[in-house]
């Protein structure tokens, strides 16, 4: 479980492809403080398992599923990634509940400066994910907990404050690039419940009369 509050930006040292998957090696500092072999780490919002950890980097294996459903397959030596360790039970939930299970990728339409260090990010969302997004709802983009500021057709707009722009990889985004998307898990559970004919507490059944 993660919060979508990025702890640091890591740099890809190696992206070694194999027959089906790949091994990713990332240079980091802060997140290595208590990361152990077998521990979880969110890389651009993808929950990965650290298979090797040393003083300056960690390695994680990427499955074919991860390469297919996320933007990690496009990483190369020198790429920057957002890093976050799992939430501790005693920690503050500053973002929202993020599982690190990417639902799909979106396409960056634009990233525009709007003054005083603020930015406006527009992302085209796959049709199958739109039902989980709501105005002022939460979404994780490359592992960053953000608030949806507009929804027009298949495009969502995100207001980016200076701090978020400075401490994440958002500054490296370019039009037509891809970003990992994880929708709010509560929205997904509610949608599943109602689609199955269930009901919400205090409300009526969704089953036809």
> Per residue of the chain (209 residues), what is the pLDDT tens digit?
899 999 999 999 999 999 889 999 999 999 999 999 999 999 999 999 999 999 899 999 999 999 999 999 999 999 999 999 998 776 666 767 889 999 999 999 999 999 999 999 999 999 999 999 999 999 999 999 999 999 999 999 999 999 999 999 999 999 999 999 999 888 888 887 888 776 555 555 444 43
Q: Which domains does the chain have, with CATH numbers?
A: 8-84 (2.40.30.20), 104-193 (2.40.30.20)
Please give the pLDDT value at position 176.
97
pLDDT on residue 206: 47
- What is the model's pTM? 0.87
pLDDT of amino acid 196? 77
CA dihedral sign, ordered 65, 66, 71, 74: negative
The residue ranges of DSSP E strands in 6-165, in sequence order, are 8-17, 22-27, 40-43, 46-53, 57-62, 80-84, 104-115, 118-124, 138-141, 144-152, 155-160
Write the burial class of residue 90 (CB in 10 Å: 0-12 exposed, 13-18 middle, 19+ buried): exposed
d(CA 81, CA 152) in angstroms, rounded, equals 28
The sign of the CA dihedral 15, 109, 123, 163 is positive
CA–CA separation, 130 and 124 (whole Å): 10
Burial of residue 130 (CB within 10 Å: 0-12, 13-18, 19+) is middle
Instruction: Select from 66, 64, 15, 29 the least CA-distant residue to 45.
Output: 66
pLDDT of residue 207: 46
Tokens found for residue 32:
């290595």
Distance of CA 57 to the CA centre of its chain: 21
44 in Cβ contact with 82 (< 8 Å): yes
Backbone angles phi, psi at 159, to 5 degrees: -85, 125
Q: Which two tokens stand for residue 189?
A: 């559970």
Inter-CA distances, 135 with 2, 95, 126, 150, 173, Å: 22, 17, 16, 6, 23
If we measure between CA atoms, which residue out of 159, 82, 176, 149 comes closest to residue 113? 159
Polymer length of the chain: 209
């Amino acid at each position: 479980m993660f919060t979508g509050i990025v702890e640091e930006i890591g740099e890809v040292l190696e992206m070694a492809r194999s027959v089906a998957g790949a091994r990713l090696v990332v240079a980091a500092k802060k997140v290595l403080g208590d990361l152990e072999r077998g521990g979880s780490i969110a890389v651009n919002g993808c929950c990965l398992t650290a298979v090797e950890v040393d003083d300056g980097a960690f390695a994680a294996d990427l499955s074919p599923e991860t390469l297919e459903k996320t933007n990690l397959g496009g990483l190369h030596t020198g790429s920057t990634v957002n890093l976050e360790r799992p939430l501790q039970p005693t920690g503050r939930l500053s973002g929202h509940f993020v599982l690190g299970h990417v639902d799909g990728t979106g396409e960056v339409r634009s990233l525009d400066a709007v003054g005083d260090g603020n930015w406006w990010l527009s992302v085209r969302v796959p049709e199958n994910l739109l039902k989980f997004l709501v105005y002022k709802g939460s979404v994780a983009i490359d592992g960053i907990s953000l608030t949806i500021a507009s929804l027009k057709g298949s495009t969502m707009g995100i207001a980016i404050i200076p701090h978020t722009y400075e401490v994440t990889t958002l500054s490296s985004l370019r039009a037509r690039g891809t970003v990992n998307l994880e929708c709010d898990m509560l929205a997904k559970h509610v949608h599943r419940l109602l689609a199955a004919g269930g009901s919400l507490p205090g409300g009526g059944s969704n089953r036809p009369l």
